Structure 1
Amino acid sequence: MKNLKRLVSIFVVMIISCMLISCGNQSKSDDGSSLLKVHFIDVGQADSILIQYGNENMLIDAGNNDDENTLKNYINSLGIKEFKYVVGTHAHEDHIGSLDYIINSFKVGKVYFPKVSASTKIFENLLNAVNNKGMKFTIPTVGESFNLGDAKCTILGPNGSTYTDANNYSIVIKLEYGSNSFLFTGDAEDVSEKEMLSSGLNLKSDVLKAGHHGSKSSTTDEFLNAVNPKYAVLSVGKDNDYGHPNKETLDKFSERKIKVYRTDESGTIVATSDGKNITFDSKPSKSNTPGSGNKSYELEDESNNSKEIANSNNNYDTVQKFDSETVWVSGNNAKVYHKDNTCSNMKNPTKYTLEEAEAKELRSCSKCYK
């Protein structure tokens, strides 16, 4: 009788153990370990995209300099401690502003950055963060691939090395998981798009992160036809000064019946792929309303005055450098900045960099920047 009770006890323990193991496996499946998640983080008029597969994480861009707390809170809420890859698409503040914080605060495997420099404090902060970790930038090569879990990332741009516009240096990445695909374009404009079309690489993707915040300088008809997305995501700030997204771009999406998701309407947008289907945690936009600002989109760009330099910190060999645009301000109480120091008969105009003027929350002169 005792032996029977002992056998029954052992049998019950075995059943409970099997149930626990089964539950454990089920929860592992439910926690997203076999899912690819792409977070288009709402950082206003800027870009930041977090990609997760299982325990592996990747970050493409990190918003403006003042987006540090937004990123900190969001990333911490997900329990992330490490990034396998960090990508700075190009040297503009609205893409790398808080990238120094990311590199300083998390364990990072590789930092991808194009072979281009900028004479700005933001870029200097990024260089210092990379140096302090004893790292160097990994310069992307078109056609190279690397894995994030079972997902595959392929570099599609930049294809050139002598652009006069820093936006065209944007690193472009195609992410594939099963039969699903995403295309992240940074601020790549029509010049870069044309080169990608000529490269022979497969651009077809289910989800397109629209280039340059939906500006008319990106998303040409030819490029959009080649990508042929089902969905487009626009990372834009509400009531931004640049008029993003542009009506022409929105019309292109509408004509092709592409579902559009906008961070200025939905906040952070999360797309989830199981390798077969893609779902979004928010509803697509129904407004088709362009941005209301009137500032010329070119103002985000650095000056077209560029030159080859040798970088002393050895993060590069030879790189393209973009010097900051010079603007002019009349008096301490000025509300606007000017491209031309003779505009409006200014008296004793003071020279600023574009970054300094915008940091003072000055607006562009409607006469200089038509």
Structure 2
Amino acid sequence: GYETLMLSLAIQLYTMPIQLYHYFTFPMLGIFLNLIVIPLLTYAAGSGLLALGIYSIAFVGGKMGGMGRGSIAGVLSAFGGAASGISEIPEIFRIAASACTGPGHYIFQLYEWLCIQVERVPFHSIVAGRPEMWKIGVFYVALGIRYVWSVGEARENLERKGIVLFPKEWNAPGKNSVFIAVAVVFLVVQPVHGFQSWFLDVGQGDGVFLRTRDEAILSDCGSSQDKKIGKNVLGPFLKSQGIRTLDWILVSHADADHTNGIEWLLKEEADIRVRNLALPAAGKGQEAYKKLETLARKRGAEVYYLHRGETVRAKSLALRCLYPEAGEKPVEERNSHSLVFDVTYGKFRMLLTGDIGVEDERKILAVEEDKKREKVTLLKAAHHGSNGSSSEEFLECFSPAFTVLSYGEGNTYGHPAPEAVERLEQTGTEIWRTADSGAVNVWTDGKRMYIKGYKKQDYGKKRDKKQIKN
């Protein structure tokens, strides 16, 4: 009835911050599901408690039975042929206890079945992201104050002391609803300011997430060390950020350490919509790209094959494709036709380089060196810091202020190569390694930039570059 509905609403409201913090989603149908769950919970709990009581009697009877056959416990122990050992429980008590657990067992099976059915309903849950701890604290304090003020006796006691928290007219049920709605919006809304980039800790692989107020873009996500990187890292990360739609997924090339997380997302993650998928034009026709294209189209996404000179449609960001060349023929070595993007936001400039090698870098330089370009603020080093990438001439041309090396500790490829790291260090760039710092987060407003890592040694330690210099 009405009271059960109100109880369900209260449970959902007061557990919402905890649920969002750990699972990042809010079950929209949970309020109605609780109308079935809550009344049956009494019987499920009673079933378990009754079984526990019978087991306890049998256990104590077994223990006491050896102390004297004349005692009540001894009679209980003897009934059913139990021995006097502590660990032995009469068979009749086992049967009785198992019978008592039956109702609880079937009630919980019903719960499981209901949850499975609810998950099949469109929009059964909303991805709201993980609220910050200070927001959770404010939320609970606000609800606590509001509750105290709504209780007549507590309010009267406060008023006698001259403490007025809310006007009396605010105690109308409609005003309570408005207050609760404002509290929920405060908890779940996460405004985005500026441009954020996340270089995810995927082990040996790549995963970059770009976000502004207007767009959310995923550039690669895969790992050769964690085959379930989509389920273990990508899905939870996107939901923790409150991402319900990806405007673009950019695939530099179709090697598994760049795509197995994306494949999982396209196959399994129904809560996150994908609008567009970008693939390298030089790979068109290869089976690996056909597979990604098919998965994306099944999700209702548009698929584009890009080459140098084309741009990704975005509102706040400018993403210009620098590589591969138009009309370049596909080759077996996918690294050499990796998509390379020049990403700009105000004065901030970033290069996403996939797994290109030295020869590919030279082709880019042949075009870029003829143009007057700003220096790069941040470089995602090619091929996880391989010695076959990050040539001296490439680094000298772009002169990155910061460089991110994405690789897994103890990988079998020897990434990053000491020679490549030395070349980077000679440019004066500040190197951040996902193997050491975990996920690397970069924020900029187009003029200033902050960078930090999320492993213990770097968490909360922001490197501040006040002014981005060209």
TM-score (norm 1): 0.64
Higher strand share: 1
CA positional deviation for 1:148: 3.4
Give the Cα separation in 1 of the matches to 2:367 and 2:435.
Answer: 33
| Matching residue within 90, 97, 104 for 2:260 | 97
In the other structure, the counterpart of 2:425 is 254
Give the Cα separation in 2 of the matches to 1:220 and 1:97.
Answer: 28
Q: How has the CA–CA distance of structure 1 residues 203 and 171 changed in structure 2, closer, same or farther, with 3 Å as cutoff?
A: farther
After superposition, what is the alpha-carbon deviation per residue over 1:194-226, rounded to whole angstroms, capped at 9, x for unaligned?
110011354731100000000011111111111
In the other structure, the counterpart of 1:43 is 202
1:78 partnered with 2:241: yes
Task: Answer 1 or 2: higher relative contact order, Cα 8 Å, separation at least 6.
Answer: 1
Give the Cα separation in 2 of the matches to 1:81 and 1:140.
Answer: 25
Give the Cα separation in 1 of the matches to 2:347 and 2:300.
Answer: 38
Which amino acid in structure 2 is aligned with residue 74 of structure 1?
F
CA positional deviation for 1:133: 2.6
CA positional deviation for 1:282: 2.8
Q: In 2, are the aligned partners of 1:53 and 1:149 still within 8 Å (CA)?
A: no
In the other structure, the counterpart of 1:176 is 344
Which amino acid in structure 1 is aligned with residue 358 of structure 2?
D
Which amino acid in structure 1 is aligned with residue 248 of structure 2?
Y
In the other structure, the counterpart of 1:222 is 393
CA positional deviation for 1:32: 5.4
| Matching residue within 350, 353, 356 for 1:188 | 356
CA positional deviation for 1:125: 4.6
Matches within 5 A, 1:318-329: none
| Matching residue within 208, 218, 236 for 2:379 | 208
Matches within 5 A, 1:1-370: 33-64=192-223, 65-69=227-231, 70-104=233-267, 105=269, 106-115=272-281, 116=283, 125-159=291-325, 161-162=328-329, 164=331, 165-200=333-368, 202=373, 204-282=375-453
After superposition, what is the alpha-carbon deviation per residue over 1:125-146, rounded to whole angstroms, capped at 9, x for unaligned?
5243123134453011312233
Runs of 4+ with deviation above 6 angstroms: none
After superposition, what is the alpha-carbon deviation per residue over 1:148-187, rounded to whole angstroms, capped at 9, x for unaligned?
3422111111126136421011110111111111100010
Q: In 1, are the aligned partners of 2:354 and 2:383 still within 8 Å (CA)?
A: yes
Give the Cα separation in 2 of the matches to 1:283 and 1:231.
Answer: 17
Q: In 1, are the aligned partners of 2:383 and 2:389 still within 8 Å (CA)?
A: yes
Q: How has the CA–CA distance of structure 1 residues 141 and 194 changed in structure 2, closer, same or farther, with 3 Å as cutoff?
A: same
- The total of aligned residue pairs comes to 261
Instruction: Return the index of the structure with the highest Cα Rg.
Output: 2
Give the Cα separation in 1 of the matches to 2:378 and 2:218.
Answer: 17
Give the Cα separation in 2 of the matches to 1:265 and 1:117.
Answer: 36
CA positional deviation for 1:118: 8.1
Q: How has the CA–CA distance of structure 1 residues 213 and 138 changed in structure 2, closer, same or farther, with 3 Å as cutoff?
A: same
* Aligned partner of residue 281 in structure 1, secondary structure: strand
Q: In 1, are the aligned partners of 2:222 and 2:258 still within 8 Å (CA)?
A: yes
After superposition, what is the alpha-carbon deviation per residue over 1:93-148, rounded to whole angstroms, capped at 9, x for unaligned?
0011121233343212210001315877x656524312313445301131223353
Give the Cα separation in 1 of the matches to 2:423 and 2:454.
Answer: 19
Which amino acid in structure 2 is aligned with residue 216 of structure 1?
N
Gapped regions of structure 2 (runs ≥ 5): 1-166, 168-185, 458-470
Q: How has the CA–CA distance of structure 1 residues 135 and 54 changed in structure 2, closer, same or farther, with 3 Å as cutoff?
A: closer
Which amino acid in structure 2 is aligned with residue 68 of structure 1?
G
Give the Cα separation in 2 of the matches to 1:176 and 1:43.
Answer: 25
Aligned residues with identical type, % of pairs: 26
Q: How has the CA–CA distance of structure 1 residues 99 and 130 changed in structure 2, closer, same or farther, with 3 Å as cutoff?
A: same
* Aligned partner of residue 98 in structure 1, secondary structure: helix
Q: In 2, are the aligned partners of 1:261 and 1:283 still within 8 Å (CA)?
A: no
* Aligned partner of residue 219 in structure 1, secondary structure: coil
Give the Cα separation in 2 of the matches to 1:32 and 1:205.
Answer: 27
Q: How has the CA–CA distance of structure 1 residues 83 and 136 changed in structure 2, closer, same or farther, with 3 Å as cutoff?
A: closer
After superposition, what is the alpha-carbon deviation per residue over 1:250-306, rounded to whole angstroms, capped at 9, x for unaligned?
10121122100000001111010111011112399x9xxxxxxxxxxxxxxxxxxxx
Q: In 2, are the aligned partners of 1:140 and 1:155 still within 8 Å (CA)?
A: yes
Q: How has the CA–CA distance of structure 1 residues 163 and 123 changed in structure 2, closer, same or farther, with 3 Å as cutoff?
A: closer
Give the Cα separation in 2 of the matches to 1:79 and 1:171.
Answer: 27
Higher helix share: 2
Q: In 1, are the aligned partners of 2:390 and 2:424 still within 8 Å (CA)?
A: no
- RMSD (Å) for aligned C-alpha atoms: 2.9
Give the Cα separation in 2 of the matches to 1:113 and 1:163.
Answer: 13
In the other structure, the counterpart of 2:74 is none
Q: In 2, are the aligned partners of 1:271 and 1:281 still within 8 Å (CA)?
A: yes
Give the Cα separation in 1 of the matches to 2:436 and 2:309.
Answer: 35
Give the Cα separation in 2 of the matches to 1:88 and 1:273.
Answer: 24
Which amino acid in structure 2 is aligned with residue 35 of structure 1?
G
Q: How has the CA–CA distance of structure 1 residues 110 and 94 changed in structure 2, closer, same or farther, with 3 Å as cutoff?
A: same
Q: In 2, are the aligned partners of 1:91 and 1:118 still within 8 Å (CA)?
A: no
Give the Cα separation in 2 of the matches to 1:133 and 1:246.
Answer: 39
